[in-house]
């Protein structure tokens, strides 16, 4: 470990843009008498840059990192003893689905306890724009103000979702967008960027938004680029046509001259496992040509979607209600059944990708006859109903559950995932939501990434397997994500940056959540600070809600 020389100690004595580098000895008595609110003492600092660790105290004043160095002689209101701990920037979750859950679980327990201090929301579906009456707001900016009034434990920021824009403008009918509708969508992207969105995000595997063309995506992304945003994309296909889908994302990046982040990079089809090197080559070629193509991963070999994703796209025309009617129409049964079992050209079929009903774990069920199968495999539910016609059981369960059964799909491999994780351009995102074991969602059976993503990287993939070095892993969780989205005052432990800090024990940190028992908090992260306030104090949530809404570079304060 490297301890910085005494003359390199940085103390914030002037505003951020006018920082000075001074020594403790040069401070006058008045400065020495100015107490820090918190001093994190004698910790080993990983500053988020990916460089080697060093020993230093970290002094926090208000919501800002005010000093780093030997602060032993300085007064403070609170000392956190970090002598056996590592001190890192708060983790920035590049891909988070807490848009809805933080409304009734603002403590964000499962994320705070992972060390997450900033959540990036809005994949495909964002919280605005929405039709009047469906929410207490109508715009993404209105959602932000709602959260600011309510309070939240972590910082949040959000993309504007292409799916949200698409259905807001033209509904759920499976019809291409007209030129007039595209112009209306571009206007909505512009308004959301002015409200503080950080870019445009897609979820192109989901009808009806999958009808958008590459050319239309380029036009929408150009609007986001105008306001300094990025393009974050869940591509059309992660299986048989994954390479084609990733190539399309790169084409959008080139066409719009916009930074691209590929959402949870993976190859999710049993017949195409092992092709990750081809994906890497595709990305590296674009990067060599000067295009900023990046990605993120989660440290698991299963994803989460909905059981209705097994229903072919054409059957979703008009939305969930119309889909359910088709499942109950005898004349359509044979056609839908054939498409489920055999697939369609260009459609990512979760059943074929997973390879079996056993590869599906049911997350949430509400009908009394189905509730006993929460956390069980779809194959078990099918067997309970005789097992003779699995597709008929699929239809029946979707009808009984109102068209929605969140499901974990086991569909990709460790070698592919680890190869993606090791790339310099990949960071970490959970694809999870902030919940708690005793909260309103205690009865669901979520993916363990909701509780364990970041500790799992540190415990399993750094300490146990050595896939990543510790400074590299911290960079992928902090500085790399902040730089990628464009957050300029977080993601690093630097004087003048905001005081988001995660303190962990490198010998102990690990996830405890499993597919069988997902509602388990991790261990080894005793302290988390958000905007200078301690939210996790020696393993206990303080109840503090100091999170802020972080608005993007295109934000226009309209009031």
Q: Is the pLDDT of residue 7 over 80?
A: no
Helix (H) / strand (E) element for 326: namely helix 320-327
pLDDT computed for residue 16 by the predictor = 32
Alpha-carbon span 227 to 358, nearest angstrom: 46
- What lies within 8 Å, CB to CB, of 107 at 6+ separation is 153, 436, 541, 543, 545
Q: Which two tokens stand for residue 134?
A: 């469906």
The helix/strand/coil state of 444 is: coil
Summary mean pLDDT of the chain:
93
In this predicted structure, the answer to whether residue 487 has a pLDDT above a threshold of 60 is yes
**For residue 285, is pLDDT > 80?**
yes
Q: Is 505 exposed, middle or buried (0-12, 13-18, 19+ CB in 10 A)?
A: middle
Distance CA 65, CA 46 (A): 14
Helix (H) or strand (E) holding 540: strand 540-541
Q: Could you tell me the pLDDT band of residue 559, with boundaries at 50, 70 and 90?
A: low
Rounded to two decimals, the pTM is: 0.91
Burial category of 282 from C-beta neighbours within 10 Å (exposed 0-12, middle 13-18, buried 19 and up): middle
Summarised one tens digit per residue, pLDDT across range 201-257 is 999 998 998 999 999 999 999 999 999 999 999 999 998 899 999 999 999 999 999
Rounded to whole angstroms, the Cα distance separating 432 from 298 reads 10
Three-state SS sequence of 258-313: CCEEECCCCCCCHHHCCCHHHHHHHHHHHHHCCCCEEEEECCCCEEEEEHHHHCCH
109/522 Cα distance (integer angstroms) = 11
Residue 34 pLDDT level (bands cut at 50, 70, 90): confident
Q: Where are the alpha helices (DSSP H) in 114-237?
A: 140-150, 162-170, 179-195, 214-226
pLDDT at residue number 346:
87
Q: Look at residue 22 in the predicted model and tell me its pLDDT.
A: 34
pLDDT at 2 over 70: no
Mean pLDDT of 525-533: 99
Q: Report the distance separating Cα 522 and Cα 114, nearest Å.
A: 7
What's the longest Cα–Cα distance across the chain? 86
Q: Is residue 21 pLDDT above 70, yes or no?
A: no
pLDDT above 90 covers a percentage of the chain that reads 90
Name every residue whose Cβ is closer than 8 Å to that of residue 384 and which is 6 or more positions away in sequence: 373
Going by pLDDT thresholds of 50, 70 and 90, the confidence category of residue 32 is low
Report the Cα 476 to chain-centroid distance in Å: 13
Q: Are 46 and 62 within 8 A, CB to CB?
A: no
- In angstroms, rounded to a whole number, what is the distance separating the alpha carbons of residues 297 and 410? 15
Question: 324-370, pLDDT tens digit by residue?
Answer: 999 999 999 999 999 999 999 989 998 998 989 999 999 999 999 99
The reported pLDDT for the residue numbered 76 is: 98
Question: 343: buried, middle or exposed (CB in 10 Å: 19+, 13-18, 0-12)?
Answer: middle
pLDDT tens for 36-93 read 999 999 999 999 999 999 999 999 999 999 999 999 999 999 999 999 999 999 999 9
What does the pLDDT average to over 382-387?
A: 94
Percentage of the chain beyond pLDDT 70 is 94
Strands (E), 166-297: 199-203, 230-234, 260-262, 293-297
pLDDT the model gives residue 31: 55
What pLDDT does residue 557 have?
87
At 11 the pLDDT is 38
């Amino acid at each position: 470990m490297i301890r910085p020389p005494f003359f390199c100690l940085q103390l914030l004595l002037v505003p951020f843009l006018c920082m000075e580098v001074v020594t403790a000895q040069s401070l006058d008595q008045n400065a020495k008498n100015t107490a820090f609110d918190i001093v994190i003492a004698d910790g080993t600092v990983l500053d988020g840059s990916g460089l080697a660790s060093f020993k230093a105290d970290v002094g926090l004043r208000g919501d800002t990192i005010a000093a780093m160095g030997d602060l032993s002689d300085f007064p403070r209101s609170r000392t956190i003893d970090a002598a056996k701990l590592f001190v890192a920037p708060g983790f920035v979750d590049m891909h988070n689905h807490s848009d809805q859950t933080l409304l009734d679980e603002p403590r964000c327990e499962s994320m705070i306890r992972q060390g997450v201090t900033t959540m990036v929301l809005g994949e495909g579906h964002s919280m605005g724009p929405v039709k009047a009456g469906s929410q207490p707001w109508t715009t993404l900016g209105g959602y932000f103000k709602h959260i600011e009034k309510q309070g939240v434990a972590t910082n949040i920021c959000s993309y504007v979702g292409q799916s949200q824009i698409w259905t807001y403008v033209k509904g759920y009918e499976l019809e291409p967008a007209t030129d007039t509708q595209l112009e209306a969508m571009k206007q909505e992207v512009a308004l959301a960027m002015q409200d503080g969105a950080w870019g445009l995000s897609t979820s192109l595997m989901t009808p009806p938004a999958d009808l958008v063309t590459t050319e239309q995506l380029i036009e929408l992304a150009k609007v986001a680029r105008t306001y300094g945003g990025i393009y974050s994309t869940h591509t059309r296909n992660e299986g048989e046509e994954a390479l084609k889908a990733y190539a399309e994302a790169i084409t959008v990046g080139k066409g719009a001259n916009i930074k691209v982040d590929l959402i949870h990079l993976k190859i999710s089809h049993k017949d195409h496992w092992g092709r990750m090197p081809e994906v890497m080559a595709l990305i590296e070629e674009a990067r060599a040509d000067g295009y900023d193509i990046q990605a993120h991963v989660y440290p698991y070999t299963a994803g989460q979607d909905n059981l209705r994703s097994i229903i072919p796209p054409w059957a979703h025309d008009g939305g969930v209600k119309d889909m359910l009617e088709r499942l109950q129409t005898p004349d359509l049964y044979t056609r839908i059944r054939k498409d489920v079992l055999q697939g369609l050209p260009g459609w990512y079929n979760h059943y074929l990708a997973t390879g079996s009903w056993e590869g599906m774990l049911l997350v949430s069920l509400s009908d009394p006859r189905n509730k006993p199968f929460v956390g069980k495999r779809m194959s078990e539910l099918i067997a309970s109903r005789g097992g003779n016609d699995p597709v008929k059981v699929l239809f029946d369960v979707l009808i009984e559950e109102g068209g929605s059964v969140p499901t974990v799909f086991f569909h990709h491999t460790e070698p592919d995932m680890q190869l993606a994780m090791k790339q310099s351009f990949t960071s970490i995102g959970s694809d999870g939501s902030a919940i708690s074991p005793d909260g309103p969602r205690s009865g669901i059976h979520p993916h363990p990434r909701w509780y364990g993503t970041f500790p799992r990287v540190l415990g399993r993939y750094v300490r146990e397997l050595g896939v990543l070095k510790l400074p590299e892993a911290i960079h992928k969780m902090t500085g790399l994500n902040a730089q990628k989205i464009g957050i300029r005052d977080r993601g690093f432990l630097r004087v003048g940056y905001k005081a988001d800090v995660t303190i962990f024990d490198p010998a102990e940190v690990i996830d405890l959540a499993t597919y069988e028992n997902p509602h388990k908090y991790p261990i080894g992260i005793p302290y988390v600070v958000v905007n200078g306030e301690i939210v996790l104090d020696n393993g206990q949530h303080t109840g503090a809600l100091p999170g802020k809404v972080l608005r993007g570079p295109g934000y226009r304060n309209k009031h």
